[in-house]
A and B are shown apart, each in its own frame.
Chain A
Amino acid sequence: MAPLLQVENLTIRFPRAEPVRNLSFEAGEGETLAIVGESGSGKSLTALALMRLLPRGAQIASGRIAFDGRDLIKLDARGMRHLRGRDIGMIFQEPMNSLNPVMTIGRQIGEVLRVHERLTGRAARARAIELLELVRIPAAEKRVDDYPHQLSGGMRQRVMIAMAVACKPKLLIADEPTTALDVTIQAQVLDLLDTLRCELRMAVVLITHDLGVVAQWADKVVVMYAGRKVEEALPGDLFDNPLHPYTRGLLAASPRLKNDFHYRDGALSEIPGSIVSAGGETGCPFRPRCAEARASCGHHMPPLTVPAPERLVACPFTVPVEAMPHAAAFSL
């Protein structure tokens, strides 16, 4: 059986740039796929493309987004509207911007139910309270009449999640759902998302820049750099044994709570340079910042190879898996 979501060779084009190029990944029912990347990697555009909500000027130039047996790219606007909010839910980074400030949260959740399940009045309200309980909002019966500004950031994100899962979607897209939250609240929200994934058997596409979040919560990880997939692996493999120079650099550059490395012991390892837009250029986008780069890297984008089972990497000069120093070097 084909996986629930299958993205093949997705290319997103702006008039003068291609922020996402030839991107493929898939996510099965009940699975969390994490897409990691820094700003400018194209990860958020990818999320919007899945919902067909790309900003003006951007368009899907080629590729296929197969969801539940249908190609979303070929779907008309009406069909897509039916899918959004019902079969595919989405939550965003900043819940304050995505909630309507002049409407109670109960009405906002009710709106989703009205549109997709034709629930009205008392039934919608009762279901809204159920949903608030589902996302662990205490005193849901009272909270349902609150306005967004009366809630804390964590609570607002819970309300967003309640709206996103109101119609029991098959797929939930979470675009940096915890970036704006504090670390203790982030743990609560990620735990909630994971519980809902289990209970509702949803596939979750988790877009994030936080490698720690990925390591703890994802089933599969796609690492993006300048619009390209540079590596894909199971999280354990990725952190024990990163293959692409970019992934290796990122892991080496992040300070960790669990090791005793201190500034008096030495400098953090750095990735030189910063991400530059990969508009129209050929070759590996990471080349200008890569310590392993050679002349051939500038000729064409290295194809994805399979160095080990369930792994993909887009670098021909990667260290062979068996030659890696002990995995513990990279544990978080």
Chain B
Amino acid sequence: MSTTDIATLRGVATDRQVEAAEQPAPPTPAEAPSWSNMRAPDARSQQSAAVSVTNGRRALKVFLSNPNALFGTGFLAFVILIALIAPVIYPGDPLSMVGRPFLWPGQNPAFPLGTDSLGRDVLAGIVHGARISLFVGLVATALSLTFGVVLGAVAGYFGGRIDDLLVRLIEIFQTPPSFVLLVVLVAIARPSATTVTLAIAIISWPTVARLTRAEFRAIREKDFVVAARSLGYGHRRIIFSEILPNALPPIIVTSSVMVATAILMESALSFMGLGDPNVVSWGSMIGTGRELVRTAWYLTALPGLAIVVTVLALNLIGDGLNDALNPRFSQEG
């Protein structure tokens, strides 16, 4: 076979076309390129969608079109706002006794959510409790993310002895049950918001490091990383620009769940009386209310509800972020 034969064949075909006296449709572009392949015909057939927004803006658009994520964000923003303005709306110490004990919600308009056994305002407690819950949740997660991602990335990317070392370290941290370790850590240090936060970060970072390491090990072998190396990119660029964005979705989902878990852990510690005794938190409110759960159930239910809805909001945000940051799902957006 050769191209001349094909040409003959085309010729015959064209003759027949003329015979058929059909109006030929214009199927091929009019220009006559010097190389046949320069037409890039397969490029033409693909509909070129006018996508000119950058990655970030597009992700935001997708995120904002997801009602669950919007609800989560909205609620979390509300909680953050409450936490920020707590000193303004309830300037006094929420631990001080302000009214008659055991006022049920709605009984006295001055205390919309009632008062507890010592006559402290429940709403003020919840509003101030949001501060400590969010502080511990966000800061502990930020710390363990930074630490875990960096260590996991380095170990997963370079492998070898650094990797062995990190895996041993993670194993040491993950062998004792994490909550027991947390209790021990807090018990050794004097309980305060800072020590609780640090302790939670210390028990959480191995999860992040492990996940990051696994992702990096898998992605490191991908062709596009090999391509990056063949182009002479440095390690830092490969780690942060090539691999990390691809490793992020599971890390992001985990981190939103981690904020939630940290809030739960802080509550659990406070519930056990291992929290900072000088500040009110949702957990300590449940702790003090638990003996009265038959007579005044609202004392445990209300802070409990605050925890549940905040944790739920964080999970919804995590799911929304995952969908938005993955370009493969973002076409509809």
Output the residue of A251, A274, A320 with the most chain B CB within 10 A: A274
Rounded to whole angstroms, the CA-CA distance of A272 and B20 in the bound complex is 24
Chain B, residue nearest A294 (CB) = B22
Q: Which of B17-69 contact A (CB under 8 A)?
A: 17, 20, 22-25, 27-28, 35-37, 39, 41-42, 44-46
Stretch among B6-14, B120-128, B174-182, B214-222 lining the A interface: B6-14
Decide: B1 and A319 in contact? CB cutoff 8 A. no
Q: Which residues of B contact A266 (CB under 8 A)?
A: 2-3
Task: From known contacts A294-B22, A297-B25, infer whether A329 and B45 are also in contact, taking CB-CB under 8 Å.
Answer: no
Decide: A252 and B25 in contact? CB cutoff 8 A. no
Rounded to whole angstroms, the CA-CA distance of A293 and B46 in the bound complex is 19
Rounded to whole angstroms, the CA-CA distance of A294 and B41 in the bound complex is 18
Rounded to whole angstroms, the CA-CA distance of A323 and B25 in the bound complex is 24
Task: From known contacts A288-B27, A291-B27, infer whether A317 and B13 are also in contact, taking CB-CB under 8 Å.
Answer: yes
Q: Which residues of B contact A319 (CB under 8 A)?
A: 9, 12-13, 16
Q: Which of B71-115 contact A (CB under 8 A)?
A: none
Chain B, residue nearest A332 (CB) = B1
Q: Which residues of A contact B35 (CB under 8 A)?
A: 267
Q: Which residues of B contact A291 (CB under 8 A)?
A: 10, 13, 27-28
Q: Which residues of A contact B332 (CB under 8 A)?
A: none
Chain B, residue nearest A270 (CB) = B36
Rounded to whole angstroms, the CA-CA distance of A68 and B44 in the bound complex is 46
Decide: B37 and A248 in contact? CB cutoff 8 A. no
In the complex, what's the smallest C-beta–C-beta distance from B8 to chain A, in angstroms?
Answer: 5
Q: Which residues of B contact A325 (CB under 8 A)?
A: 5, 8-9, 12
Q: Which of A288-332 contact B (CB under 8 A)?
A: 288-298, 317, 319-320, 323-325, 329-331
Decide: A273 and B5 in contact? CB cutoff 8 A. no
Output the residue of A251, A265, A325 with the most chain B CB within 10 A: A325
Tell me if A114 counts as interface (CB < 8 A to partner B). no
C-beta contact mask, A275-296 vs B, less than 8 Å → 1, else 0? 0100000000001111111111
In the complex, what's the smallest C-beta–C-beta distance from A162 to chain B, in angstroms?
Answer: 33
Q: Which residues of B contact A298 (CB under 8 A)?
A: 25
Task: From known contacts A295-B23, A317-B20, A324-B9, infer whether A273 and B1 are also in contact, taking CB-CB under 8 Å.
Answer: no
Rounded to whole angstroms, the CA-CA distance of A317 and B1 in the bound complex is 22
In the complex, what's the smallest C-beta–C-beta distance from A263 to chain B, in angstroms?
Answer: 12
Q: Which of A204-251 contact B (CB under 8 A)?
A: 245, 248, 251
Decide: B3 and A269 in contact? CB cutoff 8 A. yes
Number of residues from A at the complex interface, CB < 8 A: 37
Decide: A288 and B45 in contact? CB cutoff 8 A. yes
C-beta contact mask, A162-199 vs B, less than 8 Å → 1, else 0? 00000000000000000000000000000000000000
Task: From known contacts A270-B36, A319-B12, infer whether A294 and B25 are also in contact, taking CB-CB under 8 Å.
Answer: yes
Decide: B37 and A267 in contact? CB cutoff 8 A. yes
Q: Which of A43-80 contact B (CB under 8 A)?
A: none
Task: From known contacts A294-B25, A298-B25, A325-B9, infer whether A273 and B36 are also in contact, taking CB-CB under 8 Å.
Answer: no
Q: Which residues of B contact A256 (CB under 8 A)?
A: 1
Decide: B44 and A273 in contact? CB cutoff 8 A. yes
Chain B, residue nearest A331 (CB) = B1
Task: From known contacts A288-B45, A317-B13, A317-B16, infer whether A269 and B24 are also in contact, taking CB-CB under 8 Å.
Answer: no
Rounded to whole angstroms, the CA-CA distance of A88 and B12 in the bound complex is 45
In the complex, what's the smallest C-beta–C-beta distance from A315 to chain B, in angstroms?
Answer: 10
In the complex, what's the smallest C-beta–C-beta distance from A255 to chain B, in angstroms?
Answer: 10
In the complex, what's the smallest C-beta–C-beta distance from A2 to chain B, in angstroms?
Answer: 37
Q: Which residues of B contact A292 (CB under 8 A)?
A: 13, 17
Rounded to whole angstroms, the CA-CA distance of A301 and B200 in the bound complex is 67
Decide: B5 and A296 in contact? CB cutoff 8 A. no
Output the residue of A269, A276, A331 with the most chain B CB within 10 A: A269
Q: Which residues of B contact A290 (CB under 8 A)?
A: 27
Decide: B25 and A273 in contact? CB cutoff 8 A. no
Q: Which residues of A contact B24 (CB under 8 A)?
A: 293-295
Decide: B5 and A329 in contact? CB cutoff 8 A. yes
Q: Which residues of B contact A320 (CB under 8 A)?
A: 16
Tell me if A259 counts as interface (CB < 8 A to partner B). yes
In the complex, what's the smallest C-beta–C-beta distance from B290 to chain A, in angstroms?
Answer: 48
A289: which of B1, B10, B23, B41 is its contact (CB, 8 Å)?
Answer: B41
Rounded to whole angstroms, the CA-CA distance of A289 and B2 in the bound complex is 21
Task: From known contacts A252-B6, A317-B16, infer whether A296 and B22 are also in contact, taking CB-CB under 8 Å.
Answer: yes
Q: Which of B225-277 contact A (CB under 8 A)?
A: none
7 contacts between A and B (CB under 8 A): A265-B2, A267-B35, A267-B37, A269-B6, A274-B46, A298-B25, A323-B12
Residues of chain B touching chain A, judged by Cβ–Cβ distance below 8 Å, are 1-3, 5-6, 8-10, 12-13, 16-17, 20, 22-25, 27-28, 35-37, 39, 41-42, 44-46
- Ranked 3 nearest A-B pairs via Cβ: A272-B41, A329-B5, A274-B42
